Structure 1
Amino acid sequence: MGKREISLRFLAEPSDVNFGGKVHGGMVMKWIDQAGYTCAVGWSGKYCVTVYVGGIRFIRPIHIGNVVEVHAKVIYTGNSSMHIAVDVLAGDPREGGAFQKTTHCVIVFVAMGEDGKPCKVQPWQPATDDDQGLESYARKLMSLRSSLDEEVKRFLEPGPA
């Protein structure tokens, strides 16, 4: 328990391709969820569920044959929730493996107890200026998400038939 960050590394394969010849976004989102889940479980020591994925930004394409690194780290904790920042980087191994950021997002996971209900997680405290910036980023996203949730609720409420 208490491992704050992890990295997964692998090769982008031909089975990951979209119709444009690049790795498709659904595969990238799967990798993001896997890395985020691994990070959340490593921090909490509990089974975790994804409750929110927000602000996915696809910055540049990933090419088949690229080495892909998915880096996830805890940037904020609540009572049972963990905000995990996930960056996806990729590089051509023939070019010395220089990685470039391809995708970024923040995922919120909730730790679950044996009873299937949310359970407490150990708090994470920022230790550096960079950490404080990441926590501030997470808090700002929480505030923005609250406004977005209100807008979505209005859209989902049944209207007059």
Structure 2
Amino acid sequence: MSKIKNHIELQFLSEPADVNYGGKVHGGMMMKWIDQAAFACALQWSQSYCVTVYVGGIRFFHPVHIGHLVKMEARIIYTGKTSMHIAVDAYSKAIGKADFIKNTHCIIVFVAVDEEGQPKLIPSFKPKTEKEIAMHGYAVKLMDLRKSIDKEMEPYIV
């Protein structure tokens, strides 16, 4: 049995239908690509259908222009029994340029589900490299922050 990879990279070419009137890719299109990359990473890890349960901390650093090559890097940074925290970094570059620039970063949490839509157990992710250990710690900190955010939002959830 082959080792399950904890990361994936997808690339897209921004097209005229992806951009707003200012000639830059819509934030919604970037979020779609981020979700697709994170879903593919979650599917690859869990070997199961997954549902998005949380998207947070998305921040746009630089715009993406029409005709730019867009690269999404998604990686598992933490797993629970059924959930996966995936960090996604988006990069872009003009065609003919050598270096990508970082455009966006966010965390998405997916839960693996069975045929009845119930949470399903997944393999545990065990960080090994220094970067994986740091990202794992980052995920734990973000989980603690989400608890306080959830408490603040509670009165507004109907």
Provide the TM-score with structure 1 as the length reference. Answer: 0.94
Please give the alpha-carbon distance, in whole angstroms, between the structure 2 residues aligned to 1:150 and 1:141: 14
Q: What is the CA-CA distance between 1:19 and the residue it aligns to?
A: 2.3
CA-atom RMSD, angstroms? 1.1
Q: What is the CA-CA distance between 1:156 and the residue it aligns to?
A: 2.6
Which residue of the partner structure matches residue 94 of structure 1?
96
- Residues 91-130 of structure 1 aligned to structure 2 (within 5 Å): 91-96=93-98, 98-130=99-131
Residues 7-27 of structure 1: CA distance to partner in whole angstroms, max 9, x if unpaired?
111211111111221001000
How many residues were matched structurally? 156
Which residue of the partner structure matches residue 34 of structure 1?
36
- 1:132 correspondence with 2:138: no
- 1:25 correspondence with 2:33: no
Is there any run of 5+ residues in structure 2 with no aligned partner, and where? Answer: none
Q: Specify the code of the residue in structure 1 equivalent to 2:112.
A: A
Which residue of the partner structure matches residue 70 of structure 2?
68
Residues 62-107 of structure 1: CA distance to partner in whole angstroms, max 9, x if unpaired?
01111110110000000000000000000012223x1010000000
SS at 2:10 equivalent: strand
Residues 93-124 of structure 1: CA distance to partner in whole angstroms, max 9, x if unpaired?
2223x101000000000000122100111000
- 1:8 correspondence with 2:15: no
1:52 to 51, 54, 57: 54
Q: What is the CA-CA distance between 1:155 and the residue it aligns to?
A: 2.3
Structure 1 residue ranges, 4+ long, deviating more than 6 angstroms after superposition: none
Please give the alpha-carbon distance, in whole angstroms, between the structure 2 residues aligned to 1:110 and 1:126: 19
Q: What is the CA-CA distance between 1:3 and the residue it aligns to?
A: 2.0
Residues 125-148 of structure 1: CA distance to partner in whole angstroms, max 9, x if unpaired?
010111110000000000000100
Please give the alpha-carbon distance, in whole angstroms, between the structure 2 residues aligned to 1:73 and 1:113: 22
Q: Which has the larger radius of gyration?
A: 1
| Identity in percent | 53
Is there any run of 5+ residues in structure 1 with no aligned partner, and where? Answer: none
SS at 2:65 equivalent: coil
Please give the alpha-carbon distance, in whole angstroms, between the structure 2 residues aligned to 1:140 and 1:2: 26
Please give the alpha-carbon distance, in whole angstroms, between the structure 2 residues aligned to 1:47 and 1:28: 22
Provide the TM-score with structure 2 as the length reference. Answer: 0.95
Residues 20-49 of structure 1: CA distance to partner in whole angstroms, max 9, x if unpaired?
210010000000000000000000000000
Please give the alpha-carbon distance, in whole angstroms, between the structure 2 residues aligned to 1:114 and 1:26: 29
